[in-house]
Structures are given as C-alpha cells and as structure tokens.
C-alpha cells in the first residue's frame, strides 16, 4: 500500500507526541510500547519502522521535547522577556499540574540518570543549550557569573517543580513554588 507524501513523518511525529506525553505523565519505565502505539492509533509492528528500540524513542523524545523548550527560550530572548517572567511561568501551579505537557527535565530527570550514555549525552547537550540561553536573559554580572546564575536558577526551578509535584499537601506544594520563585529571582538579580 502506498501512502501520501509526508505520511511517514506524520506517523513518526504522532508516536513522538504520544510517547512524550505518556513519559512525562507516568514515567519512562511505567510506559510500554503497546500503550504508546495504541494511543497513536498504530500497530505495535509499525513502531520498528520508525525507531530501533524503546531507548531510541526515549532519546528522540528528549531531544524533541527539549528542542521545543529551547525554542521557547530563544523566543523569550528575542522578545525581551525578562528571566523573572520565565521563572514565574515555570514555577506556576499550571505547570506543576500539567506534567504531561510540561518540562521534560522536571518530569524525567531522575529516570534519565539511569539511562545509557547516548541518552544522557543528548539530554546533557540540550540542558547546556537551555542554560546558555537563560544566562543571556540575565542582566547582572559577567558572562561567567550569568552562566553560574543560570545553572543555579534552572536547578532550583527543576528541583522545586519536582518537589511540588511529589508532596500531597497542596499548601506545602504552593509554598515550595512561591519560595523557589523568590529564590530564583534573587539569584538572577544578585550583583
């Protein structure tokens, strides 16, 4: 059977999108290929037309999802969005409550640490790119100081978002986010 031009790319994109949402919502280990393919409306056999293995899919999902976040950071930089706005958006209750569509770093970082070198290398490269862009948004300090601030801010944001999702006390969760916002902004504005 012949398919229209672009069918293969559309199918691959659908698999990536479904896997990305499922991985972020439930975790990589908890998600099986059969569930991904079923939600994508495809057979299990079709998976191997697009990916060599689940690990290959994980790596591609990370690269894709982090590239999209990187594009948001580039747009923020081009549009003069202050780093404080980025911090507040990231550490919002909307982001906390939307793991399936949120930052893949916060949703998956603990699992990524246990994956093979190639997956971790892809992740590392994208995280480095994002922190570089974040450093460009910071106005205070030398290039080296802005880089260190960006790493501290990103680490604070990711950790706070993870912790706010893990606790079962909404008030404490909100406090974690609010305090992390204050701390990250203080880091950004420190001389």
Give pLDDT tens digits for 20-66. Answer: 999 999 999 999 999 999 999 999 999 999 999 999 999 999 999 99
Domain assignment present for 46: no
- Whether residue 77 contacts residue 129, with contact meaning beta carbons closer than 8 Å, is answered with no
Q: Is residue 157, in this structure, part of any structural domain at all?
A: yes
Could you tell me if residue 114 is inside a domain?
Answer: yes
The tokens 């490269």 sit on which residue? 125
Domain assignment present for residue 14? The answer is no
Q: Each residue of 31-47: b (16+ CB within 10 Å) or e?
A: bebeebbeebebeeeeb
Which three-class secondary structure string do you get for 116-127? CHHHHHHHHHHH
Cβ atoms of 173 and 135 closer than 8 Å: no
pLDDT tens across 158-185, in order?
Answer: 999 999 999 999 999 999 999 999 999 9
Tell me the pLDDT band of 4, cut-offs 50, 70 and 90.
Answer: confident
* 129 occurs within a structural domain: yes
Domain count, the chain: 1
Q: How far is CA 127 from CA 19, 26, 31, 67, 143, in A?
A: 20, 22, 24, 10, 18
- pLDDT, residue 19, reads 97
Domain that holds residue 154: 53-189
Per-residue pLDDT tens over the stretch 60-101: 999 999 999 999 999 999 999 999 999 999 999 999 999 999
Report if residue 42 sits inside a domain: no
Question: Does position 2 have pLDDT exceeding 60, yes or no?
Answer: no
Q: Residue 119 above 60 pLDDT?
A: yes
Three-point CA angle 139, 140, 141, nearest 5°? 125
Q: What is the pLDDT of residues 125-154, one digit of tens each?
A: 999 999 999 999 998 999 999 999 999 999
Residue 10 counted as domain residue: no
CATH number, residue 172: 1.10.357.10
pLDDT the model gives residue 164: 98
How far apart are the C-alpha atoms of 51 and 61, rounded to whole Å? Answer: 11
Q: How many CB atoms lie within 10 A of CB 174?
A: 14
3-class secondary structure, 190: coil
pTM for the structure as a whole: 0.90
Domain contains 45: no
pLDDT tier for residue 7 given thresholds of 50, 70 and 90: confident
């Amino acid at each position: 059977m012949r398919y229209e031009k672009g069918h293969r790319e559309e199918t691959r994109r659908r698999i990536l999108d479904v896997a990305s949402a499922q991985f972020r919502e439930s975790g990589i280990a908890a998600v099986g290929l059969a569930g991904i393919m079923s939600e994508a409306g495809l057979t299990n056999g079709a998976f191997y037309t697009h990916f060599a293995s689940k690990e290959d899919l994980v790596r591609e999902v990370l690269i894709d999802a982090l590239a999209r976040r990187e594009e948001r950071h580039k747009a923020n930089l081009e549009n003069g969005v202050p780093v404080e706005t980025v911090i507040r958006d990231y550490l919002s209750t909307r982001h906390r409550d939307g793991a399936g569509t949120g930052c893949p770093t916060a949703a998956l970082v603990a699992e990524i640490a246990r994956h093979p070198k190639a997956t971790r290398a892809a992740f590392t490269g994208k995280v480095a790119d994002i922190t570089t862009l974040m450093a460009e948004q910071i106005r205070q300090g030398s290039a080296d100081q802005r880089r260190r601030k960006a790493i501290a801010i990103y680490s604070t944001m990711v950790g706070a978002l993870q912790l706010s999702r893990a606790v079962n006390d909404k008030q404490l969760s909100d406090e974690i986010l609010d305090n992390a916002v204050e701390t990250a902004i203080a880091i950004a504005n420190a001389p």
